[in-house]
Chains A and B, each alone.
Chain A
Amino acid sequence: MIKTNSRRDVLKLAGAATLASLLPSGKSFAQAAGNVVVIGGGFGGGTVAKYLRKAGVNVTLIDANAGFVTCPFSNTVLGGFGEMRQVSHTFDGMRRAGVNVVTGTVTAIDSAAKRVTVQGNATPIAYDRLVLSPGIDFKFVGTAGAIAGYDEAAAEKMPHAWKAGPQTELLRRQLIAMDDGGVVVMTIPNNPYRCPPGPYERASLIAHYLKTSKPRSKIVLLDGKDTFSKQGLFQAAWTALYPGMIEWVSFSQGGNVARVDPATNTVFTDFGQHKGNVVNVIPPQRAGRVVDLIPNLATGDYCQVNPTTFESRSVPNVHVLGDACVAGAMPKSGFSANNQGKVTAVAVAALLRGQAPVAPSMINVCYSLVNPDYGISVSSVHKIGDDGTIISVPNSGGTSPAAATAEFRKMEADYARGWYASISNEIWG
Chain B
Amino acid sequence: MISRTICSVVFLSLAFGGTALAQTTDPVVLANSCSTCHGPDGKGLPNNPMPPINGRAAPAMATALKGFKADQPVVTIMNRLAKGYSDAEIDAIAAYFANIK
Contacts and interface: CB of A to CB of B under 8 A. Distances in A.
Interface of A: 1-2, 4, 30-31, 51, 54-56, 308, 335, 338-339, 342-343, 346, 349-350, 353-363, 365, 377, 379-381, 383, 393, 395-398, 400, 408, 411-412, 414-415, 417-419, 421-423, 425-426
Given A359-B21, A425-B45, A342 B32 contact: yes
B60 interface: no
B23 to A, nearest CB: 6
Nearest to B69: A396
A297 B29 CA distance: 27
Interface string B1-42: 110011011101100101111111110111011011111100
B36 A339 contact: yes
A355 B36 contact: no
B77 interface: yes
Nearest to A408: B76
B100 interface: no
Nearest to A416: B49
A346 B81 contact: no
Contacts of A308: 21
Given A346-B32, A365-B37, A418-B50, 8 more contacts: A308-B21, A349-B5, A350-B9, A355-B13, A356-B16, A358-B8, A381-B85, A396-B82
Interface residues of B toward A: which range?
A: 35 or more
Contacts of A4: 18-19
Closest A-B pairs by Cβ, 7 of them: A381-B84, A396-B84, A396-B83, A393-B84, A342-B32, A418-B49, A355-B13
A375 to B, nearest CB: 9
Contacts of B81: 363, 365, 379, 381, 396-397
A1 B36 CA distance: 30
Contacts of B8: 358
B19 A346 contact: no
A396 B9 contact: no
> Which of B18, B23, B36 gathers most chain A CB within 10 Å?
B36
A51 B36 CA distance: 12
A422 B9 contact: no
B50 A419 contact: yes
B33 A54 contact: no
Contact of B24 (A51, A338, A359, A377): A359
Interface in B55-85: 76-77, 80-85
Contacts of B32: 51, 339, 342-343, 346
B35 A426 contact: yes
A309 to B, nearest CB: 9
A421 B48 contact: yes
Given A31-B2, A54-B2, A338 B30 contact: no
